[in-house]
């Protein structure tokens, strides 16, 4: 051990690793630091400020006026629902394209995957038009539909990949026992897909959790606004109060960071699996 510690290569290695960690984390520390100061204290040349008095009030303002709880609830609900839909639909489509016998299975698969290559923002303009004609703007559907649609290709891809590695014998045995297709799919196949379901959940959630472009185009009232809006709303409302803006940014970032740190291992595993396959 002692010899290793003196190894200059090891030292350089550690220095580099720690330097990268600092680069990745310091901006967040800075954010936290400034969020506890007063606006007038920010015009400084120092790296961090030691606030004269810690301004917890910034967070109270951010929490209350940023509609934190409402937006958090909306984010959780919309993301949760779209995750469920993506998992369900991708399992169904994957099974239909992979296991069922029909002429166009390959074509259907390709068409569904095509969505992965379409830049999401090109649908902003026409979708706005469509949703407004159908009076769906400012409703949960305006987010749920595109979130699900644009996460589906990736989900389908992962599901098909995993499903094709499942042994067919199990399914055949179930069929011989007189099992129908639906029961086979949801009772026998789905439980075997658990690892890839976890991956699809995590990927879909990460994709949509931070989305705000569609949200800001399709939504207008507070009812369904998602978490990023805490930040967007505030920069206008509190343009003259920097400290509160920092507080609302820290507050908005917090849930995702906390959940990530707690579930770090399983999220890493899920992302890793999806990333390598996708």
Partner 1 sequence: MKFKKLIAVAMVTVMTTAMIGCGSQAADSQAPAESAAQDTSGTAGEEITLKVFSNLPDRKNGQGLVEQTVIDNYMSENPNVKIEVEALDEEAYKTKFKAYSMEGLPDVVSIWGQPSFLDEVLDAGVLAELDESDYADYGFLSGSLDGFKKDGKLYGLPRNTDVAVFYYNAKMFKDNGWEVPATYDDLLKLAGDIKAAGIIPCAMDGGDGWPLAVYLTDVLFKLTNDKYADTATTAIQNADFSNEDIKKAVELLHEADEAGLFQNGYDSQDYGTAQNLFTNGQSAMYYMGSWDASMALNEDIDEEIRNNIRVFTMPVIDGGAAKATDITAWNGGGYAVSASSANLEEAKKFLNYLYLPENLSKIGWENGVGMSAQDETAFMTGNETEVQKQLVDLIGKATNVSGTTINDRGSAAFKTSIESQIQSVSNGSTNVENFLSAISEACK
Partner 2 sequence: MHKLYSNRKVIFSLILPGMLLFVFAILFPIILSAYYGFTDYSGMGKVTFVGFDNYVAIIKDSVFWRAMENSLLLAIGFICIQHPLAIITAAVLDKLGGRAEGFFRCVYFIPNVISVAVIAYLWKFIYNPDFGLLNNVLRFFGKEADINWLSQDYAIWSVLVVLIWHGFGWGMLIYYTGIKNIDPTLYEAAAIDGADQKNTFLRITLPLMKPVIQINVTMAIISALKQMETVYLLTAGGPGDRTQFVANYLYQQAFKAFRYGYGNAIGVVFIIICLFVTVVTNNIFKEKEV
**Interface residue list for partner 1 (CB under 8 A):** 39-40, 42-43, 128-129, 132-133, 135, 137, 216-217, 220-221, 233, 235-242
Separation CA 62–CA 195 (nearest Å): 38
Instruction: Give residues 38-67 in contact with partner 2 (rule: CB under 8 A).
Output: 42-47
Question: 144-167 b/e with 16+ CB inside 10 Å = b?
Answer: bbbbbbbbbbbbbbbbbbbbeebe
Q: Please, which residue, 122 or 240, has the CB nearer to partner 1?
A: 240
Which one of the spans 51-59, 60-68, 179-187, 190-198 is the region binding partner 2 (CB under 8 A)? 179-187
139 binding partner 2? (CB under 8 A): no
DSSP letter at 189 equals I
User: How many residues contact partner 2, by CB under 8 A?
Assistant: 95
Please tell me whether residue 196 binds partner 2 under the rule CB under 8 A.
no
Interface with partner 2 includes 112 (CB under 8 A)? Answer: yes
The interface partner of residue 261, options being partner 2, partner 1, none and the CB cut-off 5 to 8 Å by kind, is partner 2
Query: Which of these ranges, 14-22, 51-59, 64-72, 190-198, lies near partner 2 under the rule CB under 8 A?
Result: 14-22
Task: For residue 249, state whether it binds partner 2 (rule: CB under 8 A).
Answer: yes
77 touches partner 2 by CB under 8 A = no
Residue ranges in 115-134 that form contacts with partner 2 under rule CB under 8 A: 115, 117-127, 129-130
> In terms of Cα–Cα distance, which of 238, 226, 95, 68 is closest to 159?
95
Alpha helices in 66-192 (DSSP H): 68-98, 105-114, 124-133, 141-164, 168-176, 181-183, 190-192
The CA-based angle 128-126-207, given to 5 degrees, is 70
Nearer to partner 1, 105 or 217 (CB): 217
Integer Cα distance of 70 and 224 in angstroms: 8
Examine residue 93 and tell whether it contacts partner 2 (CB under 8 A).
yes
| 162 lies in the site for partner 2, by CB under 8 A | no
Q: Whose CA is closest to 206, among 159, 272, 161? A: 272
């Amino acid at each position: 051990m002692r010899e290793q510690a003196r190894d200059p290569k090891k030292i350089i290695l550690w220095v580099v690793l720690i330097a990268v960690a600092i680069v990745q984390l310091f901006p967040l520390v800075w954010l936290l630091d400034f969020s506890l100061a007063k606006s007038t204290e920010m015009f400084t040349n120092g790296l961090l400020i030691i606030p004269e008095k810690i301004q917890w009030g910034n967070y109270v303002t951010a929490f209350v006026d940023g509609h934190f709880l409402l937006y958090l609830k909306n984010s959780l609900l919309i993301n949760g629902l779209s995750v469920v839909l993506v998992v369900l639909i991708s399992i169904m489509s994957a099974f239909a394209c992979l296991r069922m016998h029909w002429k166009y299975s390959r074509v259907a698969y390709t068409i569904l995957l095509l969505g992965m290559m379409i830049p999401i923002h090109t649908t902003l303009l026409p979708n706005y038009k469509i949703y407004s004609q159908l009076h769906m703007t400012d409703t949960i559907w305006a987010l749920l539909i595109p979130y699900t649609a644009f996460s589906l290709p990736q989900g389908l891809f992962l599901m098909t990949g995993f499903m094709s590695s499942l042994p067919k014998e199990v399914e055949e045995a179930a069929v011989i026992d007189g099992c129908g297709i639906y029961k086979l799919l949801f009772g026998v196949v789905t439980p075997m897909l658990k690892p890839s379901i976890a991956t699809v959940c995590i990927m879909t959630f990460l994709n949509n959790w931070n989305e705000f472009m569609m949200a800001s185009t399709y939504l207008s009232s507070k009812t369904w606004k998602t978490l990023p809006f805490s930040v967007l709303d505030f920069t206008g409302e509190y343009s003259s109060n920097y400290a509160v803006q920092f507080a609302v940014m820290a507050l908005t970032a917090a849930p995702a960071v906390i959940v990530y740190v707690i579930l770090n291992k399983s999220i890493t595993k899920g992302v890793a699996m999806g990333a390598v396959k996708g």
